Amino acid sequence: MKDAIEPSKIVNLNQRPESPERLGGLLHSVRDMASRRLQALLGNMFEHVDDALFDLAEKAENNAAQMHYFDGMREVRKRRPAVERTYLAQFSRELTDFAANRRSAVAEPASPSLGSIELSLVGENELEESLAITSMISKNESRITRDLFALNQRLSVICGGIKVDDATNPVGPTVLTQTFRQAMRELSADMRVKLIIYKLFDRYVLSGLEDLYQELNTELVRAGVLPQLRHGVVRGTSPAAAAGNRPGAAGGAAQSGGEVSAEDAGNLLNTLHALFTARRGGHDSAGGGSVGPQAIPTANELLGALSVLQNQLASQGLFAPGAGSASASPGVATDLDIAHEVATLKEHLLNQIGSLRGERPHHVSSIDEDTIDLVGMLFEFILEDRNLPPQMQVLLARLQIPYLKAAILDRRLFAHRQHPARRLLDSLADVAKGWSDESDKDRRLHDKVKTIVEQLLHEFDDDMGIFDRLLADLQEFQELTRKRAELAEQRVAESTRGREKLEQARRRAAREILERIDGKPIPPLVHGVLARAWANYLVLILLRQGEDSPEFADGLRFVNEFVASTRLGNDEESRATLRQMLPGIERALRRGLANVAFQENDVERLLDQLHAYYRLQLGEAGPAAAVASEQTPPAIPESIQSIVDTVQEGAPMPADQPDEPLEILPPEVLAQMEAVGAMKPGTWIEFCPADGPAERAKLSWISPMSGRYLFVNRRGLKVGDFAPQELAASLAGGSARVLASNAFFDRAMDAIVGRLSQPATDAPERG
């Protein structure tokens, strides 16, 4: 084979490579073979970028998102050669540095200085990028463990016995991915586009590493480098690594007692480790165990002790008497009990290990202590998070031990947003956020959360798949609940929308009539017809045909003529004009009153009164007609009373009420108006009235007509609707508060990092 390593480069296994030339020749061959294959894989990846971005652009939710993808396509086409050149050149430099034993780090330092912590945490895009890279590395290292392990050992041999592991192998997933991250700096594309390219890098480049490693291992074996090597994996140097063969303990638990690299646990974990170390005054406990009763606990010991505590919690509702709050009745957990046990879990854990060993250890390894402290702070945050109702806080806080076990088994829990345990806790917190006694009278949601908590307490040992199964169960429950709630919510919104349209139509009809009356007196009989019957007719036209319809124009024309008929003079010409108008007025009135469900006999009675009034105007009637003209028009039938704007004769009809000007609102209310204006449907608010229980409600709809905010509970039932000023006043006065919309785990990690970044008055006491 053209690229084969020549037999002349065979290495004598009884001694190190004889010369730098031989070392250089072997590594040169490795570099050439890897470069050729990586160049092909990278080229294949870029061939798929256009199609992937184009598909996403077609499915984009809006024009702005679509333009991001199209801009990304143009940027990738333009910068592709530079990215490929940079990547291959950097890879070559990495291998050269490796051969010279310089091993310059591609990634950021594993333990960032405290000065850089704030920037690394605040940069959301950089965190997203780091998490994506960490996930790719972890997945591929696990997938090709055997071939990667063999290649590590053989590279170690040809480098004179210097240890080579997954993180330092120049052709390993860690270095190759971090090198690609550096090359991606050539692109100025949006982070969404970059994340898509990282996924394609995973699919088309990292997925091809298995073949590359097999090829490299085959050629190194032909060169005589460890031809009889047995495939095995040793991760970490702690006793836990040697003992971590129990099912499910590989990965996170196997690394217990040793330092976890940035590639294995993610940049966020390294940042947290640096913060924990700083708070301990820079002191780290030993990373490995020693022989004797005071040996640092292994991962298996920690998991075993946690399982004992978990069984006690599952069976009694609290830790065993004497380990915590023994005063509580078995199976009854109060808020104070839960808070106490969350804060003192490390002490319980060390006591339990002491019971199993016969002597209590003084402390655990630094990485395990970080994990215990981090999980403890996470569950302290649950008890402090006002976004969660107190009843739900107590339920979720009982998950501390299962989540500590999960974090020891798989430390990626804190670094990966898509980790199933993290997604389950996020989902539980999300459904809990909208819970209240009023919205869950049948206890369906409360019991579902309780069931999931109890399943984790009773069933979780080391099978991480339980989190996926429980998450799927919760999502199925949420979907059924969501469908029922959406139907109820839609009915509430439609009903509210209908009432607002009716109110708007009533105000519009009243305003049109008032403008035509123009503040001048008109006979009570005519006022009564306009204010009651005809106003109702205009409302129905507005609701059915709209304000631009010919029917509405005809209705207003009748008002003009009806009002004008009362204001003609007493001369013969005016009487002649009135005689010409009356047939049209009568026809229009009959048609309009029929449309608003007047019975024929009611219409005839009304017309008789109008006839008497007009005969008087024309001088054709006696005193009896004058009396009749003053009578009240017949009552409107009950069938249409619900949509009639009743106005007393001679009283003004309602007109649009102008909004209260913002300038006269109190400053604290004005300060909340901007927040109210920025609210989107889906925002959750807790209403805390002074005379009743708190109620959590979701913003369902903002009226385009009145601007009022409609809120419903988690079942889709109406809680209330408020004008913007009313809602702002409630927020300013503390009777309402907006609940956080971001994921629970993100809020918790931000709070934990903020707390750790504050100067510590005293170093925490080590268990």
At residue 185, does pLDDT exceed 70? yes
Residue 258 contacts residue 287 (beta carbons within 8 Å): yes
H or E element: which one contains 321?
none
pLDDT tens string 457-481: 999 988 899 999 999 999 999 888 8
What's the order of all strands across the beta sheet hosting 736-738?
718-722, 709-712, 695-702, 684-687, 736-738
Q: In three state form, how does the secondary structure of 82-110 look?
A: HHHHHHHHHHHHHHHHHHCCCCCCCCCCC
Cα–Cα dist 396/446, whole Å = 11
Mean pLDDT within 615-641: 56
Q: Are strands 709-712 and 684-687 parallel, antiparallel or unpaired?
A: unpaired
Residue 546 contacts residue 555 (beta carbons within 8 Å): no
Minimum mean pLDDT among 177-181, 662-666, 753-757: which range?
A: 662-666
Mean pLDDT within 55-59: 84
| DSSP-assigned beta bridge partners for residue 738 | 685
Cα–Cα dist 296/214, whole Å = 39
Phi and psi angles of residue 65, each rounded to the nearest 5 degrees, phi first: -65, -40
Residue 149's pLDDT is 87
* pLDDT band (50, 70, 90) for residue 423: very high
Residue 182's pLDDT is 93
Cα–Cα dist 518/419, whole Å = 70
Residue 256's pLDDT is 34
Minimum mean pLDDT among 424-428, 453-457, 482-486: which range?
A: 482-486
What integer best gives the mean pLDDT of the chain?
76
At residue 322, does pLDDT exceed 90? no
What CATH number matches the domain at 662-757, 1.10.3470.10, 3.40.50.510, 2.30.30.30, 3.10.105.10?
A: 2.30.30.30
Minimum mean pLDDT among 376-380, 534-538, 760-764: which range?
A: 760-764
User: How many CB atoms sit inside 10 A of residue 277's CB?
Assistant: 17
Residue 116's pLDDT is 38
* pLDDT band (50, 70, 90) for residue 197: very high
Which of 40-44, 645-649, 760-764 shows the highest mean pLDDT? 40-44
At residue 394, does pLDDT exceed 70? yes
Better-scored residue on pLDDT, 162 or 124: 162
In the three-class reduction of DSSP (H, G, I as helix; E, B as strand; rest coil), residue 627 is classed as helix
Cα–Cα dist 682/687, whole Å = 15
In sequence order, the 6+-apart residues with CB closer than 8 A to the CB of 650 are 524, 527
At residue 492, does pLDDT exceed 50? yes
* CA end-to-end distance (rounded Å), the chain: 61
**Chain mean position to CA 434:** 14
pLDDT tens string 138-155: 788 878 888 898 898 888
Cα–Cα dist 737/91, whole Å = 53
Residue 280's pLDDT is 62
Mean pLDDT within 282-310: 66
In sequence order, the 6+-apart residues with CB closer than 8 A to the CB of 526 are 562, 563, 565, 566, 613
Better-scored residue on pLDDT, 503 or 427: 427
Cα–Cα dist 277/263, whole Å = 19
Mean pLDDT within 441-447: 89
Token duo for residue 573: 């010409």
Cα–Cα dist 69/64, whole Å = 9
In sequence order, the 6+-apart residues with CB closer than 8 A to the CB of 544 are none
Cα–Cα dist 394/334, whole Å = 8
pLDDT tens string 696-705: 988 888 887 7
Mean pLDDT within 413-432: 90
Whether the model clears a pTM of 0.95, i.e. scores above it, the answer is: no
**Chain mean position to CA 234:** 38
* pLDDT band (50, 70, 90) for residue 286: very low
How crowded is the C-beta side of 340, counted as CA atoms within 13 Å? 14
The rounded percent of the chain whose pLDDT value lies above 70 is: 74
At residue 730, does pLDDT exceed 50? yes
Better-scored residue on pLDDT, 68 or 160: 68
Q: 688 exposed, middle or buried (CB, 10 Å; 0-12, 13-18, 19+)?
A: middle
Domain with CATH 2.30.30.30 in the chain: 662-757
Residue 411 contacts residue 257 (beta carbons within 8 Å): no
User: How many CB atoms sit inside 10 A of residue 214's CB?
Assistant: 15
Residue 269's pLDDT is 63
At residue 257, does pLDDT exceed 70? no
Residue 553's pLDDT is 92
Residue 456 contacts residue 399 (beta carbons within 8 Å): yes
In the three-class reduction of DSSP (H, G, I as helix; E, B as strand; rest coil), residue 298 is classed as coil
8-state DSSP, 286: -
Phi and psi angles of residue 684, each rounded to the nearest 5 degrees, phi first: -100, 140
Task: Check residue 693 and give left, alpha or beta (phi > 0: left; psi -120 to 50: alpha).
Answer: beta
Residue 568's pLDDT is 85
User: How many CB atoms sit inside 10 A of residue 374's CB?
Assistant: 23
Mean pLDDT within 370-378: 88
The rounded percent of the chain whose pLDDT value lies above 90 is: 21
Helix axes 390-397, 366-384, angle to 10 degrees: 160
Cα–Cα dist 595/544, whole Å = 12
Mean pLDDT within 269-279: 67
At residue 450, does pLDDT exceed 90? yes
User: How many CB atoms sit inside 10 A of residue 207's CB?
Assistant: 15
Residue 155 contacts residue 293 (beta carbons within 8 Å): no
Residue 179's pLDDT is 94
pLDDT tens string 629-655: 455 444 444 433 333 343 333 334 444
Cα–Cα dist 676/723, whole Å = 10
Residue type at position 461 = D
CA distance readout (Å), 582 to 41, 353, 354, 383, 518: 90, 103, 105, 78, 22
Mean pLDDT within 310-320: 65
pLDDT tens string 524-577: 888 888 888 898 889 888 888 888 999 999 999 999 999 988 888 888 888 889
How crowded is the C-beta side of 585, counted as CA atoms within 13 Å? 22
CA angle in degrees (0–180, nearest 5) for 549-551-557: 110
Residue type at position 56 = L
Cα–Cα dist 8/418, whole Å = 50
pLDDT tens string 659-687: 444 457 788 888 888 889 888 988 999 99
At residue 9, does pLDDT exceed 70? no
* pLDDT band (50, 70, 90) for residue 45: very high
Residue 317's pLDDT is 52
Better-scored residue on pLDDT, 421 or 358: 421
R_g over Cα of the chain:
39
Phi and psi angles of residue 426, each rounded to the nearest 5 degrees, phi first: -60, -45
pLDDT tens string 200-253: 999 999 999 989 999 999 988 888 888 877 554 333 333 333 333 333 333 333
Token duo for residue 179: 């090198």
